[in-house]
Amino acid sequence: MKFFIVFAALVAVAVAGPVRVDDSHLLAIIHAINSPHTDSATAALLQDQLDAILDSIKPVPVEVGPAIVDEYEPISVGPAIIDEYEPISVGPAVIDEYEPISVGPALIEGPIPDPAAVSGSPLVQVIVNVNTPPKPVEDISTGPALIDFDPAPIQPDPVIVVDHPELVPVQIPQPVLPVPAVPIPDNAN
C-alpha cells in the first residue's frame, strides 16, 4: 500500500506542469473577493490564493531603456527602387471568358403558388369613405398678408441724471466650511 502511494505521488509529480491560469479564473476570484456576500474569512483565503497565483506567474521584465541594435543598417529615405518594371494598364479590363447577361424577367424554378389559394389579410389596406359629405374648401388668398396694426404712441419717460452714485455697503455672509472626512480603520474594511 505504501508503495502504491509513493508510486502515485511520483507519477503526479512527473505529470504535473506549470499552472495555467486564464483571465476568467482570475476575474472570478476577484469578483468573489469583492462580493458583499462573501464571508471575511473566505475573502482572506481567496486573497491569499490570488496572491499565490499572481506570484507564480513570473512576468517578463520590461526593458525601458533604449533598444540596442548590434548590426547597423542605414535607412533609405529616398523613393522606393523597384527592380522589375511592370506597366500599369489604364485601359478597360480584359475578360477572358464571355458570359452573357440576361436582361429578361427572372426565371423561378419550382412550383409557383396560386394567388387565389393564399389566404390572410393584405399587406396594405386602403379604406375609402364614400358616404361622407365633402367639406367646403376655403378661399385662400395668395396676396400679401394684411395685419391690422394700431400702435399706441410711445411716450418717452424723463431720464434722471445722477451726479454721484449712491454707495451700498457689501455684506459678506459667514462661509460654510466643509466637514473633513474621517478615515475608517483598516480592520473595518
Q: Where are the domains of the chain?
A: 18-57
Cα angle 76-78-79, degrees, rounded to a multiple of 5: 120
Half-sphere exposure of 3 (CA within 13 A, CB side): 0
Average pLDDT of the residues of the chain: 78
Q: What is the pLDDT of residue 66?
A: 84
Q: What is this structure's pTM? A: 0.24
**Residues 18/57, Cβ–Cβ less than 8 Å:** no
Q: What is the pLDDT of residue 115?
A: 66
Residue pLDDT, tens place only, 70-80: 888 888 888 88
Task: Please tell me whether residue 12 adopts helix, strand or coil conformation.
Answer: helix
As a whole number, mean pLDDT of residues 1-26 equals 74
Is the backbone of residue 51 left (phi > 0), alpha (psi -120 to 50) or beta? alpha
Give the whole-number percent of the chain exceeding pLDDT 90: 0
Quick one: three-class SS letters along the chain? CHHHHHHHHHHHHHHCCCCCCCHHHHHHHHHHHHCCCCCHHHHHHHHHHHHHHHHHCCCCCCCCCCCCCCCCCCCCCCCCCCCCCCCCCCCCCCCCCCCCCCCCCCCCCCCCCCCCCCCCCCCCCCCCCCCCCCCCCCCCCCCCCCCCCCCCCCCCCCCCCCCCCCCCCCCCCCCCCCCCCCCCCHHHC
